[in-house]
Amino acid sequence: MTDATTNAAPSRSLWQDAWRRLRANRAAVTSLIVLIVLGLAGIFGPMISPHPYGQIYQQYVRVPPSLEAYPRAEEIEPAIESLIRRARVEAVGAEVEGQTATVAVRSDQPIDTRITRYFERSDQFTNPQLELADDGMTGTLTVTVDRNYFLLGTDNLGRDMLSRILIGVRISLAIGLLASAMALVLGVAYGAISGYLGGRVDNVMMRIVDILYSLPFIFFVILLLVFFGRSLFIIFIAIGATEWLDMARIVRGQTLSLKRREFVQAAEAMGATRSGILRRHIIPNALGPVIVFVTLLVPKAILAESLLSFLGLGVQDPMTSLGLLISEGAQNMRGAPWLLFGPAATLTVILFALNFLGDGLRDSLDPKER
């Protein structure tokens, strides 16, 4: 060898090159980051959010999104007064000072210290303390105003939308990605094997696919749920098990045309094993349409899940998913548009990111794109 440096150059593979090209694609990288951030938000968001996704704030039903804390300053006094009235005592004067409110109370009868319960039960105040005078007829009630932020508003039951969207992202992304991954692995393997082996094997394998195709999706899901009981895992399986059929057909079609290509014949002439040909030649060359199809499959799975949930077969309250949130939001579109807007925007962002990422991946896996 005249050129010693060429020997040192390590061999690269398609995936290394694809990764290099993907990193140069700004839209794809941005999408990837967005998806990762959303994924992390879905996983850790509900843990650190101040509002558990199931918690109901009765005082804050359908409040609109706001950067201000609830209760608002002007609402504090009326709220205190109404609570005081319900406690059947008389308020002499109320003072709000920052986080604490002090109310002087008076009654004709001795005041029952249990009136603090009214404040304890309220979502607006915490830590009520009643200091009674010696006669038991007057006293000072000190409460801490519980300031809550509902950045994206609350739903019909008074649950924080942000927390619900975060948990929805977690469920929907998990279902979308896992079901698609299952469809991808199963469909690509099945389709490639069926197409490559051809003949009678292909015939039998594809007829099985046809039979599964003819099973109604809902019926299939109900069957699975009846047998195995309702769980998130079964929903993954149910969606994945129906979506792989399309994938198998697409990959089979690709394989049929690829296996007549000369580079496959060349590998056969070299003595390559069938699995080697599938792995090295057929599957990498079929990836373009497969990746595009996967990016379509993820939203399909997300929507399939929301259909199941709507029918009562999927996730159930207080657990939720983006699809469910959107369908609830759609029902309240007029009165409380934020119920629709938040989850819909999130789903849109996810789908955009998936599409850009899918396009970027397809391009980067094609060595002709530079």
Partner 1 sequence: MTETILSVRDLRVTFETPDGPVSAVRGVNLDLKSGETLAIVGESGSGKSQTTMAMMGLLAANGRADGSVTYRGREILNIGERALNGIRGKKITMIFQEPMTSLDPLYRIGRQLAEPLRYHAGLSARAARPRILELLRLVGIPDPERRINSYPHELSGGQRQRVMIAMALANDPDILIADEPTTALDVTIQAQILELLADLQKRLGMAIVFITHDLGIVRRFADHVAVMRYGEVVEDGAAEALFAAPKHPYTQMLLDAEPEGRKEPPAEDAPALLTGDDVRVTFHLGGGLLAKPTPLHAVKGISVSLHEGQTIGVVGESGSGKSTLGRALLRLTESTGRVAWLGKELPEGIDAMRPYRRELQLVFQDPFGSLSPRMTVGQIITEGLLIHEPTLSRKDRARRADEALAEVGLDPSMRNRYPHEFSGGQRQRIAIARTMILRPRVIVLDEPTSALDRSVQKQIVTLLRDLQAKHSLSYVFISHDLSVVRALSDHIIVMKAGEIVEQGPTDAVFDAPRQDYTRALMAAALSTTRFRTAS
Footprint of partner 1 (CB under 8 A): 1, 3, 6-7, 9-14, 17, 261-263, 265-274, 276, 280-281, 284-285, 287, 365-368, 370
**Rounded CA gap, 170 and 41, in Å?**
8
Min dist CB 273 to partner 1, Å, is 7
Nearest Cα to 312, choosing from 299, 327, 297? 327
Nearer to partner 1, 28 or 287 (CB): 287
Give the C-alpha separation, 26 to 277, whole Å. 34
* Residue (260 or 334) nearer to partner 1, CB: 260
* Interatomic CA distance for residues 306 and 249, integer angstroms: 25
What's the closest the beta carbon of residue 287 comes to partner 1, in angstroms? 8
| Smaller CB separation from partner 1, 17 or 68 | 17
Q: How many residues does the chain have?
A: 370
Q: Which CB sits closer to partner 1, 229 or 271?
A: 271
Identity of residue 313: L
Nearest distance, CB of residue 17 and partner 1, angstroms: 8
Least Cβ distance, residue 370 to partner 1 (angstroms): 8
Instruction: Give Cβ neighbours of residue 299 (< 8 Å, ≥ 6 apart).
Output: 176, 347, 350, 351, 354
Task: State which residue, 126 or 257, has the beta carbon closest to partner 1.
Answer: 257
Structure tokens at 124: 């607006």
- For 47, residues 6+ apart whose C-beta sits below 8 A from its C-beta are none
* Residue nearer to partner 1 on the CB measure, 16 or 231: 16
Residues 164 and 325: beta-carbon distance below 8 Å: yes
Check if the beta carbon of residue 108 is closer than 8 Å to that of residue 137.
yes
Residue 278 CB, nearest distance to partner 1 (Å)? Answer: 13
Q: Quote the least distance from Cβ 148 to partner 1, whole Å.
A: 53
Give the span between the Cα atoms of 350 and 17, in whole angstroms: 26
Closer residue to partner 1 (CB): 3 or 134: 3
Q: Which two tokens stand for residue 177?
A: 């990605």
Q: Smallest gap, in angstroms, from Cβ of residue 268 to partner 1? A: 7
Choice between 158 and 289, CB closer to partner 1: 289
Token reading at 188: 């690509």
Do residues 100 and 127 touch, judged by C-beta distance below 8 A? no
Minimum CB distance to partner 1, residue 248 (Å): 21
SS3 state at 6: helix
Evaluate whether 125 touches 75 at the Cβ level (below 8 Å).
no
